[in-house]
Amino acid sequence: MPTPLLEVRDLTVAFDTPRGQIRPVQNVSLSVYPGQTLAVVGESGCGKSVTALSILRLIPSPPGRVLGGQVLFNGKDLLQLSEKQMQSVRGKDIAMIFQEPMTSLNPVFTVGEQIVEAVQLHQNVGTRQAYEIAEQAMQDVGIADPHKRIHEYPHRLSGGMRQRVMIAMALSCRPKLLIADEPTTALDVTIQAQILELLRKLQEEKQMAVMLITHDLGVVAENADAVAVMYASKVVEYAAVNDLFDSPKHPYTEGLFRAMPRLGRPGGRLQTIAGAVPNPRRFPSGCKFHPRCPRMNGDALCTQKEPELREIATRHWASCHHIENFAAAPITPPTSDAIRKDAEAPA
Amino acid sequence: MSALLEVRDLKTYFPIRSGVLARTVGWVKAVDGVSFQIQPGKTLGLVGESGCGKTTVGRSILRLIPPTAGSVAFNRQDLLALRGEELRRIRRKMQIIFQDPVSSLNPRMRIGNIIGEPIEVHKIASGAEKRKMVASLLQRVGLDENDANKYPHEFSGGQRQRIGIARAIALSPDFIVCDEPVSALDVSIQGQILNLLADLRAERNIAYLFIAHNLAVVEHFSDDVAVMYLGRIVEKADARELYANPKHPYTIALLSAAPEPEPGRKRDRIVLGGEVPSPANPPSGCPFHPRCQLTREAAKGSGDPSALITFSPRGMTGSISLRVLDFGGAVEVESGGEKFPVLKKCVTEVPPLEAKDGKPGHTAACWVTK
């Protein structure tokens, strides 16, 4: 196994609020390898975005603070760097793109000025050369006629174009790691396909590592090498993408797969996960998933003891007390045969 | 069986105003000639990308936005001709559920009043009787009757959407416009809401116009599906038929672009170039021609337009048979910074929505496909 480019170890983040402390990220460990994509999946409030922001130390403090853990980038702990050293990491070694291409660009500067600012911050180049780099970056992300577009203001561009500009800006300094926080959630499906294909292409060309934060399992399946599933501040399952989709071990992961309507499988009732995502102010005791868990049978273990993330199969981790008792029903991709059988089988 | 709702040639235009006198200098044709029917208890799914006009269709039907032309018949009554009391009476039977459960509930009103307001406005009940109705509605959508005294902020997104549903069914409507009802919700919650809507449909014989951009959700939930592009319906069919046997190149591209939760499956994705053009300045002829793969392929081999073009959205492989028509040869167009040839007819004439493959229930607006 090569050494990871980014290794998050046991990270815990807290926010001090007037109504007490909350811990949206607890004991999270992740590794991202060079040239690979790690997807972090989970529903709103599971802590995936806070984890990403903590890596770049972008959590406002106060109220936020890192209670423990390490963020090792190339072996160096980012949490120990001075603010000034950190600034040279942000954008240069690790870049980030956000969900909202509408609000991430400054409306009163042209897109060129904004890319050039990022370039000159990290590279010792003159203005003319910076514009050349910016134009090349825009060309790389498939913006037609960059020579003209570089002087446009953000409001003149569509959502997909703005996200391309964000990616151009993020990639202009050739980062080793790109953190993409829901990069296509605000975009239409045909534009999403363009952006994801672009990211894959650029990743391959530049051998860049990507940490992809998303809630869309379809996007995960098509883009990730490894996946971390988060629920209520914790990583509950961690595996290579094929292992996770072939045989999910955690009941939450399993529930997510079942709850999702799929193309080619119309009609019928969806199997759902009962209840709602818990509020971080009132996380349940024991296993945080136990109030919604179909494996619960009144077992005191689940309500009292929080399960550890353990290696269930080779390089496949999950945190559940009952994995061995529930050999997961295989969730196979629907083939046309399976669909026909489904339709014939009595409900 | 006569249709519950019949929409004919609906057009909704918004004026573009400019200058000190705010003169109208042009029109945004948000909806440009849309027709469909919905039978009682059935669901029509309306899919398309942002800006295609699907939300405007839903709102124009309810007259929340005044349509520019066309007719909307509900129970054979012409909605667009109704005024005052008559309109109010018919509106009881038509409701809407919005996408954003946060902004569609008044934060200063208690849940009981939010759900009770339509009951009171339409003078169905008041006082204790109204409260009883509200309690039973809350229970029906999976909330607690004591929740009537709470405010919207005390609920999660999924619960708020349940409140929106309770408000919509309070007047026992026959028809509900669901405008992206689950797109703001988490996956685990989305399934709960879809199941609830399906149960209500079965119980109360409610017809839905189900507007969404998620193709899998629409397939799961709808009897019929219409695909919109730039203010027009470009394809319409029974849901199974449309997904198994798409005829319009835009539908094919949409299906092939949807990411699927199956790692490792290789498929030929059609990545559409360019973006949805502005409805203020739509392309001539077929509005899809600047992004269309089919017309490009057909124009390349325009010597023999009867050739089959194969495609493989979502892993399945299929082919589209092309028809032999006089397309007027190829012309060059420019889109997204590149130039390519397309069939001349696609640029000069708008294709009508017509039956494909000899199936009267399956219509598509494309010159090239058979």
Q: Is residue B128 part of a domain?
A: yes
**pLDDT reported for residue A267:** 65
Are the beta carbons of B219 and A242 separated by less than 8 Å? no
**pLDDT reported for residue A342:** 38
CB contacts under 8 A, B 332-361 vs A, are 336-338
Q: How far is A190 from chain B (nearest CA, A)?
A: 6
Are the beta carbons of A190 and B186 separated by less than 8 Å? no
Dihedral angle sign, alpha carbons of residues B127, B132, B136, B138: positive
Distance CA(B261)–CA(B256), nearest Å, equals 13
Beta carbons within 8 Å of A277's beta carbon, 6+ residues apart: A43, A44, A45, A46, A232, B156, B186, B188, B189
Which CATH number characterizes residue B169's domain? 3.40.50.300
Mutate to test the interface with B, among A99, A189, A257, A271 (most CBs of B within 10 A): A189
Are the beta carbons of B259 and A193 separated by less than 8 Å? yes
**pLDDT reported for residue B272:** 77
Structure tokens at B84: 């005052």
**pLDDT reported for residue B318:** 61
**pLDDT reported for residue A183:** 86
**pLDDT reported for residue B201:** 95
pLDDT tens-place string over residues B105-134: 999 999 999 999 999 998 888 889 999 999
Contacts of A273 in chain B (CB under 8 A): 188, 191
For residue A236, the Cα-to-chain-centroid distance in whole angstroms is 15
In this structure, the answer to whether residues B169 and B255 fall within a common structural domain is no
In this structure, the answer to whether residues B203 and B349 fall within a common structural domain is no
CB atoms within 10 A of CB B7: 24
**pLDDT reported for residue B163:** 94
Q: pLDDT band at residue B336, thresholds of 50, 70 and 90?
A: low
In this structure, the answer to whether residues B261 and B122 fall within a common structural domain is no
Contact indicator for A61, A34 with CB cutoff of 8 Å: no
Q: Which residues of B42-56 are buried (b: 16+ CB within 10 A; e: fewer)?
A: bbbbbbbbebbbbbb
Q: Which residues pair with A17 in a beta bridge?
A: A20
Say if A63 is an interface residue toward chain B (CB within 8 Å): no
| Nearest Cβ partner for B188 among A196, A219, A273 | A273
Distance CA(B342)–CA(B300), nearest Å, equals 8
Distance CA(A52)–CA(A89), nearest Å, equals 14
Are the beta carbons of B259 and A161 separated by less than 8 Å? no
For chain B, what is the domain count? Answer: 2
The label of the residue with tokens 């970056």 reads: A137
- DSSP 8-class letter at A297: S
| Nearest Cβ partner for A263 among B159, B215, B337 | B215
**pLDDT reported for residue B301:** 66
Say if B163 is an interface residue toward chain A (CB within 8 Å): no
**CA contacts within 13 A on the Cβ side of B155:** 26
Q: Is residue B370 part of a domain?
A: no
Separation of first and last alpha carbons in chain B: 30
In this structure, the answer to whether residues B205 and B268 fall within a common structural domain is no
Written in H, E and C, the secondary structure of chain B is CCCCEEEEEEEEEEEEEECCCCEEEEEEEEEEEEEEEECCCCEEEEECCCCCCHHHHHHHHCCCCCCCEEEEEECCEEHHHCCHHHHHHHHCCEEEECCCCCCCCCCCCCHHHHHHHHHHHCCCCCHHHHHHHHHHHHHHCCCCHHHHHCCHHHCCHHHHHHHHHHHHHCCCCCEEEEECCCCCCCHHHHHHHHHHHHHHHHHHCCEEEEEECCHHHHHHHCCEEEEEECCEEEEEEEHHHHHHCCCCHHHHHHHHHCCCCCCCCCCCCCCCCCCCCCCCCCCCCCCCHHHCHHHHHHHHCCCCCCCCEEECHHHCCEEECECCCCCCCEEEEEECCEEEEEEHHHHHCCCCCEEECCEEEEEECCCCEC
Which three-class secondary structure state does DSSP give residue A133?
Answer: helix
- Per-residue pLDDT averaged across B316-323, rounded? 64
Are the beta carbons of B220 and A197 separated by less than 8 Å? no
Contact indicator for B365, B233 with CB cutoff of 8 Å: yes
Contact indicator for B205, B216 with CB cutoff of 8 Å: no
Vertex B309: Cα angle to B303 and B314 (nearest 5) = 165
In this structure, the answer to whether residues B140 and B34 fall within a common structural domain is yes
Say if A222 is an interface residue toward chain B (CB within 8 Å): yes
Phi/psi for B193 (5° steps) reads -70, -40
Beta carbons within 8 Å of B257's beta carbon, 6+ residues apart: A189, A190, A192, A193, B269, B270, B271, B272
Distance CA(A63)–CA(B348), nearest Å, equals 61
Which three-class secondary structure state does DSSP give residue A312?
Answer: strand
Distance CA(B152)–CA(B169), nearest Å, equals 18
CB atoms within 10 A of CB A68: 13
Say if A190 is an interface residue toward chain B (CB within 8 Å): yes
In this structure, the answer to whether residues B205 and B74 fall within a common structural domain is yes
What residues make up the domain containing B260? 249-364
pLDDT tens-place string over residues B237-265: 999 889 888 889 899 888 888 888 887 76
Structure tokens at B324: 């032999």
Question: Is there a cis peptide before residue A63, judged by omega within 30 degrees of 0?
Answer: yes
More confident residue, B323 or B232: B232
In this structure, the answer to whether residues B27 and B108 fall within a common structural domain is yes
Burial of A183 (0-12, 13-18, 19+ CB in 10 A): buried
Q: pLDDT band at residue B303, thresholds of 50, 70 and 90?
A: low
**pLDDT reported for residue B60:** 94
Distance CA(B247)–CA(B239), nearest Å, equals 13
- Per-residue pLDDT averaged across B68-76, rounded? 93
Contacts of A260 in chain B (CB under 8 A): 187, 191, 216, 261
Tens-level pLDDT at each residue, chain A (347 residues): 678 999 999 999 999 988 889 999 999 999 999 999 999 999 888 999 999 999 999 988 888 899 999 999 998 999 999 999 998 899 889 999 888 767 888 999 999 999 999 899 888 899 999 999 999 888 888 787 888 889 999 888 877 788 889 888 888 888 999 999 988 887 788 888 888 888 888 898 888 999 999 988 989 998 999 999 999 999 999 999 999 999 999 999 999 988 888 887 766 788 888 888 888 888 999 999 999 998 887 778 899 999 999 998 889 999 999 887 665 444 444 333 433 333 333 33
CB atoms within 10 A of CB A74: 15
Beta strands in chain A (DSSP E): 6-17, 20-32, 37-41, 64-73, 76-77, 94-97, 177-181, 209-214, 226-231, 234-240, 310-313, 316-318
Beta strands in A103-224 (DSSP E): 177-181, 209-214
Q: Is residue B63 part of a domain?
A: yes
Distance CA(A292)–CA(A305), nearest Å, equals 16
Structure tokens at B328: 């007027």
Distance CA(A39)–CA(B91), nearest Å, equals 47
In this structure, the answer to whether residues B110 and B50 fall within a common structural domain is yes
Q: Which residues pair with A70 in a beta bridge?
A: A9
| Global ipTM | 0.79
- Per-residue pLDDT averaged across B48-71, rounded? 91
Q: Is residue B229 part of a domain?
A: no
Element (H, E) at A115: helix A111-122
In this structure, the answer to whether residues B108 and B218 fall within a common structural domain is yes
Q: Is residue B240 part of a domain?
A: no
**pLDDT reported for residue B23:** 86
Q: Is residue B61 part of a domain?
A: yes
Q: Is residue B200 part of a domain?
A: yes
Q: Which of A5, A214, A196 is nearest to A93 (CA)?
A: A5
**pLDDT reported for residue B188:** 83
In this structure, the answer to whether residues B209 and B257 fall within a common structural domain is no
Q: Is residue B227 part of a domain?
A: no
Q: Is the model's pLDDT at B316 over the cut of 70?
A: no
Distance CA(B46)–CA(B177), nearest Å, equals 10
Distance CA(B320)–CA(B307), nearest Å, equals 9
In this structure, the answer to whether residues B281 and B329 fall within a common structural domain is yes
Contacts of B157 in chain A (CB under 8 A): 44
In this structure, the answer to whether residues B165 and B16 fall within a common structural domain is yes
For residue B290, the Cα-to-chain-centroid distance in whole angstroms is 23
Distance CA(A236)–CA(B299), nearest Å, equals 53
